[in-house]
Amino acid sequence: MKQVTSLALVALLAGVAVNAGAYEEGDWVLRLGATTVAPDEDSDRIVLPTAPATVLPGVSIGNDTQLGIIPVYMLTDNWGMELLAATPFEHDVKVKGAGIKAGSVTHLPPTLSLQWYPRGGQRGWQPYVGAGLNYTLIYDEDVDPQLAGALEGLLGASEADLSLDDSFGLSAQAGVDIPLSGNWAINLAVWYIDIDSTAKIRTDVGTVEFDVDIDPWVYNVGIAYRF
Ligand code: NI
């Protein structure tokens, strides 16, 4: 009997050791990395009130990479809640076709996701998928002198101001933590975020409005540490 108990104890300890790197209920995992927001934008045309109207084919939005700060709390061994946070992203905006710089926008896209870890409670690679909610706060929009010049030439506008509405939408994601040693891992993750906004160009001779779906793919490459 004593031997059986010892064997059970050895098996239990071995099990604990095997699961030492496992994600378990109550764990925190902090992911830090290079997070890139790559817009897959779809912009309405910009109709300027000249006579006849001048139609520009919309805007394109460039990529930006910032420091991602991405904490996760394991609600159970298999379910986690993750917050995607980062230092502010700044994107160049161009007028499509015309080759004119429109300006730049800065945004914060915090995204809260419920995640499923199929290998939760087990040691080794930790793949996950998630779905969540995004709020994108767009601020500090700047008009480039090239757009200001074009608006002055076409409309006689002496002032121009760009603004984009904030967005609330859904997100989907997948990722994996690849174990290194101890509590460290490499993190690779991707999100698709539905970010739909309306842009306004206000000038002293009138306002032009058009819809812009930013809908970015977001990538993170970094490290993860389990507490
Ligand atoms: Ni969209």
- 135-190 per-position pLDDT tens digit: 999 999 999 999 999 999 999 999 999 999 999 999 999 999 999 989 999 999 99
- Asked if pLDDT for residue 15 goes beyond 50, the answer is no
Ligand 1 centroid, distance to 154 Cα (angstroms): 31
Host domain of residue 9: 2-226
Omega into 52 within 30° of 0, i.e. cis? Answer: yes
**Please, are residues 187 and 175 in contact by the beta-carbon 8 Å criterion?**
yes
Ligand 1 centroid, distance to 215 Cα (angstroms): 5
Residues with Cβ < 8 Å from 170, sequence gap 6 or more? 131, 132, 133, 134, 193, 194
Say how many domains are in the chain: 1
Ligand 1 centroid, distance to 85 Cα (angstroms): 20
User: Residue 219 belongs to a domain with what CATH number?
Assistant: 2.40.160.20
Core vs surface per residue 136-152: b (16+ CB within 10 A) or e: bebeebebbebbbebbb
Confidence of residue 6 (pLDDT cuts 50, 70, 90): low
- Structure confidence at residue 14 (pLDDT): 47
- Asked if pLDDT for residue 75 goes beyond 50, the answer is yes
Ligand 1 centroid, distance to 216 Cα (angstroms): 9
**More confident: 16 or 81:** 81
Asked whether the CA dihedral 8, 9, 14, 20 is positive or negative, the reply is: positive
Ligand 1 centroid, distance to 61 Cα (angstroms): 14
- Structure confidence at residue 124 (pLDDT): 93
Using a pLDDT cut of 90, give the percent of the chain over it. Answer: 84
CA distances from 206 to 62, 104, 156, 163 (A): 27, 21, 11, 14
- Structure confidence at residue 3 (pLDDT): 58
